[in-house]
Amino acid sequence: MSDSFCRIDVSDIDLTDRRYDIGSTPGGQQNQKIDKAYIETLSRSIHALGPASPPIVRQEADRYILISGFNRVKALSLNSSKTVWVLKVDPEISELDCLKRAIAVKAFNLPLLPFELIRAVTLLSGFLSSREICDQAPLLFNMVLNRGYIDQLNEIAELPDPALALIQADRLSVKAAKKLLDFPGEEIRIFLSIFECLNVSSSKQLEMILFLKEIAARDKISLRDASFQLNLSQILGDGSTDAAAKLRQIREKLYSARFPELSKKYTRVQQAVQSLKLGKGIKFTPPENFEHSSYTLSFQSDSLEDFLAKVSRISQCAKGDAFKEIFDP
């Protein structure tokens, strides 16, 4: 036998069985980025134009299991469609081949999201070794994967469910998730509480993980004690402060605790810059965290007269003690 096209009742599709949905968590939690508005738009598109491609299903007794087309079927249900044309796979097809097809259909349509890649590799690992997945990666994922990366993705899949949910929601990067593997579950949740509350870039996630780890190691205390001493949970729970301010406060707390002398130097330089009173339109910026020695002075002028006045003001300030304090605090 072989695959065949046929029309089936939408109600005969079991939407609760998501074994081939690489966008869902092991517990069946779907990607929240696929929101109601998206499904409604897809629904209108299908109503006007018909489905761009048929869902792929596998028949089991009197029901059908989706291999591909989860959002399309949800959209059809929203349209109150009674029937749908589907591609029904060969009844003799194996679980592994169904999974491979589900991955390939998605990967050759759009690049897989980080969570989808983790989930796909995890599911394949129930059937194949890392080497076998590596060998078949171009045909399955439309990309090359090395064995080491495949093993790392399997390790990340063992993180607590809240971590996987954050990766799925694009609020925890794979690079940061790899760093969390170094910590026990209770300590991982310290970072997850931050990333769940705040929209933090991958580089800042790595920074936070590194700084808190180094603070705890230097002071010979646990990560939980280090977090408590820095009042991180109190900052996160402050209902009067917006997310951007909370992120700034937490980063400043971590930096000043990790590099107390540099933090004091930065404060002195900032105070010296303020004392210059350069005037409106002139900005003097010290290097962030003193990671390099380059200072930036910039200004804008709308006339030659204004330009010369600002150059004169800068020259006058450069003769004072404040500039010396800035460059040698």
Query: Cα separation of 161 and 163, whole Å?
Result: 5
Tokens representing residue 76 in the block = 């059809």
Q: Which residues of 160-178 are buried (b: 16+ CB within 10 A; e: fewer)?
A: eeebbbbbbeebbbbebbb
Lowest mean pLDDT among 6-10, 63-67, 76-80, 287-291: 287-291
* Best CATH choice for the domain 1-93 from the list 3.40.50.300, 3.40.920.10, 3.90.1530.10, 3.30.160.70: 3.90.1530.10
Q: Is the pLDDT of residue 329 over 60?
A: no
Q: What is the largest CA-CA distance in the chain?
A: 89
- How many helices (H) and strands (E) would you count in the chain? 16, 6
pLDDT of 218:
94
The residue extents of the domains of the chain are 1-93, 109-158, 160-258, 277-327
Tokens representing residue 302 in the block = 């709308």
At 271-295, the pLDDT tens digits run: 777 777 877 888 887 776 666 667 8
pLDDT band at 30 (very low <50, low <70, confident <90, very high): low
**DSSP string over 267-292:** HHHHHHHHHH---TTEEEEPPGGGSS
Which residue type occupies 27?
Answer: G
Lowest mean pLDDT among 69-83, 157-171, 198-212, 239-253: 69-83
pLDDT band at 230 (very low <50, low <70, confident <90, very high): very high
Q: Is the pLDDT of residue 29 over 70?
A: no
pLDDT of 226:
95
**Proportion of the chain above pLDDT 70, given as a percent:** 94
Query: Cα separation of 80 and 75, whole Å?
Result: 9
pLDDT, mean over the chain? 88
Are 86 and 6 in contact by the 8 Å Cβ rule? The answer is yes
pLDDT of 309:
86
Q: Is the pLDDT of residue 220 over 90?
A: yes
Q: Is the pLDDT of residue 121 over 90?
A: yes
Query: Cα separation of 110 and 104, whole Å?
Result: 10
Kind and range of the H or E run holding 57: strand 56-60
- Judged by DSSP in three states, 68 sits in strand
pLDDT band at 313 (very low <50, low <70, confident <90, very high): confident
pLDDT of 33:
56
pLDDT of 326:
72
Higher per-residue confidence, 25 vs 169: 169
At 232-268, the pLDDT tens digits run: 999 999 989 999 999 999 999 999 999 888 777 777 7
Are 11 and 5 in contact by the 8 Å Cβ rule? The answer is no
User: How confident is the model over 52-59, as a mean pLDDT?
Assistant: 89
pLDDT of 279:
79
Lowest mean pLDDT among 75-89, 123-137, 178-192, 281-295: 281-295
Termini Cα distance of the chain: 81
pLDDT band at 81 (very low <50, low <70, confident <90, very high): confident
Higher per-residue confidence, 38 vs 296: 296
Question: Per DSSP, what are the bridge partners of residue 289?
Answer: none
Tokens representing residue 83 in the block = 């029937």
